[in-house]
Structure 1
Amino acid sequence: MGHSTAQFTLVGPDRPVTAVVGEDIMLPCHLAPRMSAENMEMTWFRSKLFPFVHRYSDGKDQYGEQMPEYQRRTQLLKGGLTQGNVTLKILHVRVSDEGRYSCFVQDGNSFEEAILELQVSASGSAPHLSIEDYQDGGIRVVCRSPGWYPEPEVIWRDLSGQAFPSASHTNSREANGLYETQTSAIIMENSSRNLSCLVRNTRLSQKKESTL
């Protein structure tokens, strides 16, 4: 396939686009210099050109070989095509949407491609604290919180805000790809029981905290 030099380049974001699970996200991409893309062909894809995430040619969306997981979840923002915008909107972001995307535009024999990275995040619910059992002269307290992505950071703190060591820590994947975190701490009988469990999404710098 002869690749003649295109009369344009494609510009995508130079840093990862961050999306929150369940929300809609725009993957920006535009032609430079700005020119109409209405009569061009464009394909948004993941690792290979087919099946695709979204395809537009002959002036309309083509759904024939769309990846099943993106069906009814993609929109090419048509209003921007005359200004060279080929931005894709993804609806109801899922964990599995995370990764690299290619924006590929073809005009006759010439084509250009821009690569961008989508990072996905989710902040779970406020941690649930429970006293599980008595062990070794102390009480085992467990902090559980589902719905996080990526794996969250968990910190026990005492009333003065000092970090308190955890006894065990596990993260498990839920069916939707999010993480449930479970962390325990041992409080000795003679110490004050006021511990708080702080769970933090490092990517969004959001945190949820509960106190016993």
Structure 2
Amino acid sequence: MFPLMNELFLQSSFRPLSVLVFHLLLTHSQSQSQLIGPSQPIVATVGDDVILPCHLDPAEDVGTMILEWTRPDLKPIYVHMRRAGQDLVDKHPSYIGRTSLFINELKHGNISLKLSKVKLSDGGTYHCFIPKLDKRSSVELVVASGAASSPVISLSGTDSNRGAVVLECESKGWYPEPEVLWLDGEGNLLSAGPTETVRGPDDLYTVSSRVTVEKRHSNSFTCRVQQNKTNQTRETEIRIPGRNYMFLQF
């Protein structure tokens, strides 16, 4: 009888201990997990569909958990929400009908967001969040206009005393705002005046810049307009042999 009682006592003693150990291991596992987003901004062009990556590492089934995508600069801040296995429509009006998760990937801890028909206004920092695990990550989305024009170079003026001409360069349809560079025939940067920037009602930028070039320079000059975040570049070359000039666009 006593051995049986001892065995029952040991079983009853170890049961809460095993439960405690299990909870400790679970808590430790959750504390070690991380939500991983991209280290570099995601670049998209207006009208494209884009994926904002976010996944749990190590992988864990999050299909029944509350999942949130937000943009802190918006009101309301919610871009996409999923609760009790259902996507909610209570979010910022701009994103209604344009966001979705990869349902079959939730069991692998992948809560990446698909954003359809990207708009200029979609550019910003997004947060993916799992409240139960208290895990959060961020994704920066940069949206390019896709409508940037090749620069147009014109002869803006001359200085006969210095044997110099003033060239003006203009390019339209940029977003985000680009920078303007002038280069000589050897690819060296030229000192130019400040870039003038105008933002239109469509939120697209028009930029222009002037440079004075003298006889000591080569007869070939390039206006380059570039946006480093979106990896967009447009450039036009002008050649000035004597009094004649022509344009080469790229």
TM range (shorter): 0.7 to 0.9
Distance 1:49 1:186 in 2: 48
Extract unaligned runs of 5+ from structure 2: 1-26, 239-250
Q: SS at 1:53's partner residue? A: strand
Q: TM-score under structure 1 normalisation?
A: 0.79
Q: Which residue of 2 aligns with 1:203?
A: 229
Shift in Å, 1:97: 2.7
Query: What displacement does 1:75 show?
Result: 1.6
Q: Is the 8 A contact 1:172 1:181 kept in 2?
A: yes
Identity %: 29
- Whether 1:16 aligns to 2:51 is no
- Residue of structure 2 aligned with 1:43, choices 64, 68, 71: 68
What is the root-mean-square deviation in Å for CA atoms of aligned residues?
A: 3.0
Shift of 1:147: 3.1
Q: What is aligned with 1:89?
A: 114
The whole-number CA distance in structure 2 between the counterparts of 1:32 and 1:167 is 50
Larger radius of gyration: 2
Residue in structure 2 matched with residue 77 of structure 1 by the alignment: 102
**C-alpha contact (below 8 Å) 1:6/1:112 kept by paired residues:** no
State the Cα distance separating 1:193 from its structure 2 match.
5.2
Contact 1:16 1:119 in 2 (8 A): no
Matching of residue 183 in structure 1 with residue 209 in structure 2: yes
Instruction: Look up the SS of the partner of 1:186 in the other structure.
Output: strand
Trace 1:167-182 onto structure 2 (pairs within 5 A). Answer: 167-182=193-208
Instruction: Provide structure 1 residue ranges, at least 5 long, that are not aligned to the other structure.
Output: none
| Cα gap change, 1:189 to 1:128, in 2 (>3 Å) | same
Residue 233 of structure 2 aligns with an amino acid whose one-letter code is K
CA contact (8 A) 1:158 1:164 kept: yes
Deviation at 1:81, TM superposition (A): 1.3
Asked if the contact 2:99/2:116 (under 8 Å) is kept, the reply is yes
Corresponding residue for residue 127 of structure 2? 102
Compare 50-59 and 184-193 and name the one that shifted more. 184-193
Q: How many angstroms does 1:127 deviate by?
A: 1.2
| 3-state SS of paired residue (1:69) | helix
> Contact 2:193/2:211 (CA < 8 Å) preserved in 1?
yes
- The TM-score, its normalising length taken from structure 2, stands at 0.68
CA apart distance, 1:197? 0.5
Higher normalized contact order (CA 8 Å, seq sep 6+, divided by chain length) = 1
Residues 70-115 of structure 1: CA distance to partner in whole angstroms, max 9, x if unpaired?
2222121212112121110122333433332221224xxx342312
Asked if structure 1 preserves the Cα contact closer than 8 Å seen for 2:198 and 2:205, the reply is yes
- Once the two structures are superposed, the pairs formed by residues 21-170 of structure 1 within 5 Å of their partners are 21-22=45-46, 23-47=48-72, 50-64=76-90, 66-106=91-131, 110-122=132-144, 124-131=148-155, 133-137=156-160, 138-170=164-196
Q: Greater strand share, 1 or 2?
A: 1
